[in-house]
Amino acid sequence: MPRSRVQWFALSMAAALFPVSALAQQTAPVTAISKADIAAVLQHKGTEGAGVDRQMKVVDLGKYNLAVGILRRGPTKPGAPVGAITHSQVTEAFYVVSGSATLVTGGDVIKPVAFPADNEIVKIAVGPSTNGTFKAGDRLPIAAGDIIIVPAGVPHGFDDIKEELTYLSIRPDPDHVLPAGYVHPALRK
């Protein structure tokens, strides 16, 4: 069957833009996290990976690691100080799965204290981090379906959670501070 000029042009462009040597480069395998996997991690009751911040997987993509966690936060107390956490090397992109809250970012943090290096949050979830209490900050209402990107070094925390807030956290890790190949205990087979 003869090829049309458009087909030949498309094939020529593909060959020019995607050299054969690119096919020979090694790539990381595709990683999947199913809805059932997320539910299993949220329901996990063991000692490892059972906190608010539950890292599901950390994938080594060569130049950087990419981590995916699921977090669930309960109600906040009206008028209570808002906790602030700052990750020095890891950026987070949040996708709000359910619930609503006010995200507090930036501003001044009172009495920041570094998490110990052997803390699970540091070793598995977000790398070197500090926590404290917000004195001030920008307030942004968030709800299911919203996406928020919090750059490394920016203090962040939540207020105005009425019932529960559940969100995915996607964490690019250019400094490889997170454990490549980590898999949450609920997903280990």
Has residue 36 been placed in a domain? yes
Q: What is residue 162's predicted lDDT score, i.e. its pLDDT?
A: 95
Which position has the token pair 């699921």?
70
Count up the domains in the chain and report the number. 1
Global model pTM greater than 0.95: no
Has residue 40 been placed in a domain? yes
In Å, how far are 40, 51, 59, 185 from 46, measured between CA atoms? 12, 10, 22, 8
Which position has the token pair 């501070």?
177
Has residue 76 been placed in a domain? yes
pLDDT exceeds 60 at position 39? yes
Is the pLDDT higher at 27 or at 167?
167
Has residue 21 been placed in a domain? no
Q: 54 lies in which domain range?
A: 29-187
The CATH number of residue 73's host domain is 2.60.120.10
Instruction: Report, as an integer, the average pLDDT of 61-65.
Output: 93
**Residues 135-155 pLDDT 10s:** 989 999 999 999 999 999 999
Give the residue ranges of DSSP H helices in the chain: 5-17, 20-24, 35-43, 120
